[in-house]
Structure formats: structure tokens, C-alpha cells
């Protein structure tokens, strides 16, 4: 199994590649203003 074959659970019966999931997470962190700001928002929202 190669890196492009790895999947991440993205909801009930929904999967996407780890690389796609990581790219979306990186974009979300950037939009939040960095990792610490993202962590603070996630803690407040209960994620």
C-alpha cells in the first residue's frame, strides 16, 4: 500500500485520501491564523 492509498474517515461511510484530508486541514489552520489560533477555536467549539 502506497501513501496515496491511505484513507481517512471523513464522516459516516465517507473516506478521502490522507493527503486530501491533510491539505484541507492545513488550509483550515492557515485560515484561522495559525496553529495556536486554530487550536483555541477548536477548544471553544468542542472539536
Domain containing residue 8: 3-45
pLDDT given at position 46? 79
pLDDT given at position 26? 96
C-alpha cell at 34: 495559525
Per-residue pLDDT of the chain (47 residues; tens, 9 = 90+): 455 578 877 777 788 888 888 999 999 999 999 999 999 998 998 76
pTM surpassing 0.85? no
Please state, in angstroms and rounded to a whole number, the distance separating the CA atoms of residues 15 and 29: 21
Question: Which residues fall within 8 angstroms of residue 18, CB to CB, at 6 or more apart?
Answer: 3, 6, 7, 8
- Domains in the chain, number: 1
Question: CB under 8 Å, gap of 24 or more: what pairs does 27-34 form?
Answer: none
Amino acid at each position: 500500500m502506497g501513501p496515496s492509498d491511505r484513507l481517512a474517515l471523513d464522516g459516516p461511510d465517507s473516506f478521502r485520501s490522507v493527503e486530501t484530508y491533510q491539505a484541507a486541514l492545513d488550509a483550515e489552520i492557515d485560515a484561522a491564523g495559525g496553529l495556536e489560533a486554530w487550536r483555541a477555536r477548536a477548544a471553544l467549539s468542542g472539536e
